[in-house]
Amino acid sequence: MPTALKQDVSLEDAKRALSEALGSGYKMSTKSDSSFTVHRSGLLGVRVTMAWAEGATTFRVRPEGAILVLLFNAVYTAPKVRSALVRAFPQGR
């Protein structure tokens, strides 16, 4: 389920805001001009993909990993990252 904000957010701003919201236990790494990963450890992580259109930014947060790790990331890590995005940009909701 995508998370949409009614404001333009750059990839670097999103990474910085998530880093502040999630704390030092999470690491960010850029994958492309429109996506980055958020990892808590070598196994626990999600991919955040961004799309921009007419003054709005849409985030898609998808879990990564093998089957059991994927399930954990879907239930725990992805919702935590989605929630942090919403908290990081309250003015865009």
Residue 40: predicted pLDDT? 87
Residue 41 has a pLDDT of: 81
Count H helices and E strands in the chain, helices first. 3, 5
63 contacts 73 by C-beta, under 8 angstroms:
yes
| Predicted pLDDT of residue 11 | 95
Number of domains in the chain: 1
Position 89 scores a pLDDT of 86
Cα diameter, the chain: 38
Containing structural domain, residue 20: 3-88
Instruction: Assess if residue 93 is contained within a domain.
Output: no
Bridge partners of 46, per DSSP, are 38, 63
Q: Which has the closest alpha carbon to 79: 51, 44, 53?
A: 44
pLDDT along the chain (93 residues), means of 10: 81 94 93 94 89 91 91 93 90 62
| Token digits of residue 62 | 């998808």
pTM listed for this prediction: 0.88
**Nearest residue to 3 (alpha-carbon basis) of 45, 62, 74:** 62
CATH code, domain carrying 58: 3.30.310.80
